[in-house]
Structures are given as C-alpha cells and as structure tokens.
Structure 1
C-alpha cells in the first residue's frame, strides 16, 4: 500500500476518478465564476480581488484538478508539492487540495503524510495575508483551515489502517490455504509411504513362500505326480492368499476409520504361531518362543512386533535358506517388549536366492522408531545374524 501499482484501471477506478475530477474541477469553475461577479454570493468575503489573481487561481486550480487523474501513480508526490505551493493563495482549488491530502494519507506512509500536512498547514498560515477575508479575524481563518485539513488527514489514515488490516487478513488466509495444501501434500506422501510399507510387509512374506515352493519343484524334476499336485496346491493357495492380502491392504488403506481404531489386516502377537507354521510348511526351520501373554500386549506394540518377526523370517528365507531361525519374544509391562531373531551366518556370506528391494530392514527400523522403540541388526561374534528390537510396553 505504499503506492498504487501502475496498470489498467478497473471500472471502479474509472468511476472514482471521474467523480473526484468532477468535484475538484467543478468546484474550481463555480468558485471562479462566483469571484468574477460584482458581488460574490458563495465567497462574499473574497470580494474585491483583482482579476489577474482570480484567473491565476483558476489556472493553477485547473492544473491541480487535471493532476487528480494520476493521483494514485508516481506523480502523486509532484502533485502534492504543487498543491502545497498554490495553497498559499488559491481559493478555487479547495476541494482539490483536500482530495490530494486524503489520497496521500491513504496511499503513503505516515512520514510522507506528515511532511505534506506540515507544508500545507504552513501555507494555510500564509493564506490570510495574501487573500484576506472580509469580516474574519486572521486566527479564525487559520483555525477553520487547520480543522478541515486535520479531519481529512485523520480520515485518510483510518481508511489506510482499515485497508492494511483487510490485506493482512487476506494474506493470513492465503498463507493458511497454502499451509493446508502443504499439509495435504505431506499427508499424501505419508500415505504413499505407508502403502509401500504395508505392501512390502504383507506381500514379501507370501511371495517368498511361493518362490520356495516353486524352487522345490524346479530342483526335483522327477517328483511323483502326487508331490507335484501337492506343491501346485500349496503354490495356488499361497498365490490366492497373497492376492487376498493385497486386496485387504488396499481396502484398508482406502477405508476411513476413526483414529486409533485397528485396521485389518492387523495381526498381533497371537498370530505368530500361524506365521511360523507357514514358514515351516515352506521348509524353513523355525524355533518360536513367545514368553509373554499375547492378549496382555497393547495392540499397537503387538502389530509392530508381528511385522518385525514377519520381515525377519522373510530375510532368513532370502539370505540364509536351510538354516534354523530362532525367534524369541519376551518382556513385561513397564520394561518393554524385546524381539530377538537369530539365524546362523550362511557359509560363503549372505546370499539372496530370492530377489528383494533391500528396504525391508529400513522399513522395520522406521516402524520401530515411530512406535517409540529401537531396532538393530547385524553379524554377531557368534557368527550369527541377529535382528533385535525393543518396543515400549506401558504399564
């Protein structure tokens, strides 16, 4: 609001500009015509002014009135200076001077308005000497002029303050809208990451079982028809279950639920036995020891623990096939829940007969941290691969 920006005028700007020009120039014409009469009726106290002064007043007031068309541009300051110069003797430019003062108060900062106000107030003190009014005392003329100038300046300052307040509200609304859009974008990104984690945790386990069963058929080309039939049945059932899990995950992620309500599929510690049996059916040796009562563990902690065990078994099938995986779950309320998954380090180093994305452990670490816990993994001095997690278990 420091200065009006150049550009095309709106319909409202045209209407306002026409109105102020008609008021300013119309007042100039009317006062000049009245002063040229033998006995002025509108400004009788100015009777007896010489003709040259009346016409000089008219010319200067006309120039100022024409300048009103550019009062909102960079010509505002030159127009204001010109008005200060002519305000010491002009009568017919009275309304034009007030319009310029009001415009400066609305569109310029207070220091600019203060300088202009002081200048025009000073010339108001000179006016009674150059254009003395019949029947009025000097201080009466100065007081009335100062009163009108003060009222107009204060009015313009109020309008400026109101516009600034509206502009600040509009800016806050725009920032709030932009922040809302940013929050929506962040929510979408979080949701995409959540979908990726759920897809990995749910499907990696099933697909790894499919790969193991298919590999068993591949290495036994002389398998009997019954064995092939059983293996094909297991593959079909695993594939069907994988599709079912995928369908459930997508349905859950699309379904809007109240915050904190469990969303299926959300297996907890009670499903670890079924998870171990699935791995054993694929030929993985699993030793499962759950030293806690599954029903006593909070659902959120139980779900995170289930995903950790699921990913641990999947990694063991990928990188250490044929080894025995030991899964121990222990803890207590207040001390936390500890999940420890270990398998012998494979001879020849880590292998990956089943391809993977390499993000499973990263996702598990993120899950554990988000749950308020921690997770570590790596080779131990006993030449084992250990995946250990601690999750909070409040009392």
Structure 2
C-alpha cells in the first residue's frame, strides 16, 4: 500500500506538468496543493493567461467602440472626452487585477462606469469575474448597484439613435446575461471540484476497505496460527519439561516422550509451512489441508492420549455428519485449546470431554479437568487463547463460558447453534 502511494506521489509532478495549463488555477490548487505560491497567491496557468488576455482585449475593444460614439455627444467638451478615454484606459488596465481583487475591482467599476462610457467593457468583465470567483451574495449587491445606476447613466449620457427605454433595456439584459454566464461557469467549476472530492473520497474508502480486509485476514491467520501451533508447541514444552524434571525416567518413557516431541515438531513445521504458504498466496482458501471438523475430535483425543493424558470422551451427538463445517470446526478448536490448557496447567489429571446435541437443539461441548496434584512446572502462555475461543463462539452464533469448578478444577463450556 505504501509503495503504491509513493508511486502516485512520484508521478504527480509529470501529470501536473502535462495538464495544469488547461485547468483553472482554482482547480489546479485543489488537485495539486503544491502549485500554490509561497506567498499564498495563485499561480496563473496557461489557460488563465489566455482568458485574462482575452478579457483585456474585449474590454479594450468595447472601449474603442464606445470612444467612437463620444463625438456624437455634442454636450461633451474635449476635456471631458479625453478624461473619459483616460479613465477607460485605466479601467482596461485594471482588468489584469481581476483575479487578485475581484470584489474590489467590481465595486470600483460601479462609479467608474457611471463617469466613463469607455470603461463599460471593463465593468462587464469585472462583474463576470465576480460571478465566477465569489458567492452569489456579492454578485447580488454589486450587480444590483450597477442596475440602479444604469437609469441615471442613460439619462445623463443618452445613447445616440436609441430611445431611453430601449437603451436601458439593452443595458439590463446585457448585465443579466453577464451575471448568468458567470454563475454558469462557477457552477461548472464547483461541479468539477465536487466530482474530484467524490472521487478522492471513493479512493480513500476503497483504500480503507482494502486495509480493513487485509487486517481481518491477518487476524484470522493469527488466530489460526494460535489454534494450530499452540497445541503442537505445548506438547513439545510439556514433554521436554518432563524429560528435564525426570532424568530417572525409564527407557520406554523417554522413547515415548521423544516420539511425541518428534511427531509434534513435524506437525508444527507442516502447519507453519501451510500458513506461510497462505500468506504468500494471499488467499486462505487456496492452499492448506482441509480444516478439522467435529469428526476429527476422536483423532484429537487419541493424539492427546498417546501424549500421556487421561481423557474420557462422552460423545452423544445424534448425527455428527449433520453438523455444519463452521460449527464443527469451532467445536474442534474449543476442544483443542481446552485440552492444551489442561495439559499445561493441570498435567497428569483426568480430563472429561463431553459433546452432545441434535438438529434444532444446538451443539454443546464441555472440557473439564480435575484440580492439579502437586507442583505444576511453569509453562509460558499468552493468556489470549480463551479470549480467541470466546470470539470464535460468538462469530459462530454461540456462547462460551469458562471458569473454575467447585472441586478446584477448570471447565470450558460452549453452546453452538445447530439448525
């Protein structure tokens, strides 16, 4: 997972270089935060430069067309005509500041457009920029102020060859069209940003789901390692400890303990190879021996008896073949862990394994050992076995109880559903 993320980050600069020039600066900064300048200002992309130059040319073009009509206003003196054109030129130059101060430029253009007819193009560009880059409330205030001054402007500067109402109607329609166009562009940008955020959230959710699935798989493998290897390694520890504490044991006892140690070590290595194979394959269902079920309980008891345990098995299951694989495997693991704990903490005591049940009544399994006699050799343990058994039983839809018996022994009892 970390390798993929690092590869994506390494590929970001090249992807950014390929397509940032065709995107607005707002989208580029959202997708690539490293594109923002150190002072916090936006970097103009190639597209932004083209748009800004086009807006400047439009403002200049409208100003030049308006300047030609100034000669048709006889009440204007030459000084007023010159002042009108100078103000219009300054307004066109101010168009280059529209990205940095969209609100200030749009507000300033309201009185400027009232005084200078040649600044009308720059005022429309400023209003369009405000609609694109700022929320609608700014557009409403500035656009409303511009609409209110238009009747005064056309009364002071009547349009040659057009009635007053026609000039006013054209001005209002032009303002509404510019505002609508700006709002459309803004809505498209917001749509792109929302789609980008949605895709980013989907990627994050997919990554989190993959990590969760990986974590659950690892937990399942860890539980399986505990259930499988703890039983084998406990046999090794118990019999090795017996050889250590009983140097005077007979040849037959030593040979039997050595055989159990050899067999347990062989089985533990085989189980470990299978689990490592599952980890390498990435799928716990592709490799490994068939998982044990309730039918393997007799083999488990026989194996423990060969290791020297005294076990009484009371099997009163009406139809063992009718038990589902998941329930049977859970019952087997409970019995395996309980027998392992009995061998570790109460060696040499008698253990009773009782299993009973029928379809519709459920499956009940209990493992009870007598209190230990004498001093018990210390055997290391994590204390997580019973917690794992409780979780297994809960996931299978059953319950598990454990604790000391009134006689001083210990009992593990589980009840599992059998539909």
Q: TM-score, normalised by structure 1?
A: 0.89
Which of 326, 332, 342 is the aligned partner of 1:316?
A: 342
**Worse-superposed segment, 47-56 or 300-309:** 47-56
Deviations 1:28-64 (A, max 9, x none): 34543x357xxx6xxxx55663222222222222222
Residue 338 (structure 1) aligned with residue 373 (structure 2): no
1:280 is matched with which residue?
305
Equivalence for 2:13:
none
In the aligned structure 1, how far is the partner of 2:150 from the partner of 2:370?
100
Is structure 2 residue 175 aligned with structure 1 residue 149? yes
**Given the alignment of the two structures, is residue 24 of structure 1 paired with residue 59 of structure 2, yes or no?**
yes
Deviation by residue 1:72-130 (Cα, 9 ceiling, x = unmatched): 22x22221111111222432222212211111111111111111111111111111122
Counterpart position of 1:108: 134
Give the Cα–Cα distance (whole angstroms) in 2 for the partners of residues 46 and 323 of structure 1: 119
Superposition deviation, residue 374 in structure 1: 1.3
Residues 186-201 of structure 1: matches in 2 within 5 Å? 186-201=212-227
Corresponding position: 1:53 with 2:63:
no
- Report the more deviating stretch, 339-348 or 176-185: 339-348
Contact 1:88 1:123 in 2 (8 A): yes
Q: Which residues of 2 match residues 284-299 of structure 1 at below 5 A?
A: 284-292=309-317, 293-299=319-325
Matched, 1:163 2:198: no
Query: Corresponding residue for 2:381?
Result: 356
User: Residue deviations 1:141-183, cap 9 Å, x none?
Assistant: 0001111111111111111112112211111111111112222
Structure 1 residues 27 and 137: CA distance shift in structure 2, 3 A: closer
* CA separation of 1:384 and 1:230: change in aligned 2, threshold 3 A: closer
1:69 is matched with which residue: 93, 96, 102?
A: 96
Instruction: Looking at secondary structure, tell me which structure has more helix per residue.
Output: 2
Instruction: Give a deviation string over 1:13-34, Cα, whole Å, max 9, x none.
Output: 22222222233234434543x3
Superposed CA offset, 1:212-251 (max 9, x none): 2223333443455565444433322221111001112233
Distance 2:120 2:43 in 1: 29
Paired residues, number? 381
Question: Is the Cα contact below 8 Å between 1:87 and 1:123 reproduced in 2?
Answer: no
Contact 2:227 2:333 in 1 (8 A): yes
* 1:254 Cα offset (Å): 4.7
The structure 2 residue matched to 1:383, chosen from 390, 408, 414, is: 408
CA RMSD across the alignment: 2.5
How much has 1:343 moved relative to structure 2? Answer: 0.9
- Counterpart for residue 330 of structure 2: 304
Q: For 2:117, what is the secondary structure of its paired residue? A: coil
Relative CO higher for 1 or 2, CA cutoff 8 Å, sep ≥ 6? 1
Whether the 8 Å CA contact 1:371–1:391 is kept in 2: the answer is yes
Would you say the 8 A contact 2:102–2:133 is kept in 1?
Answer: no
**Residue matched to 1:241:** 267
Aligned match of 1:269 = 294
Question: How far is 1:352 from its partner?
Answer: 6.0
Q: Which segments of structure 1 move beyond 6 Å, counting only runs of 4 or more? A: none
Kindly tell me: are residues 18 and 147 of structure 1, through their superposed partners in 2, closer, same or farther at Cα, counting changes over 3 Å? same
Contact 1:368 1:375 in 2 (8 A): yes
Q: Could you say what secondary structure the match of 2:203 adopts?
A: helix
User: 2: distance between equivalents of 1:348 and 1:355?
Assistant: 18
Q: Give the deviation of 1:199 after TM superposition.
A: 0.8
Measure the CA separation in 1 of the matches of 2:335 and 2:145.
84
| Partner SS for 1:386 | strand
1:53–1:393 Cα change, 3 Å: farther
Alignment gaps of 5+ in structure 1: none
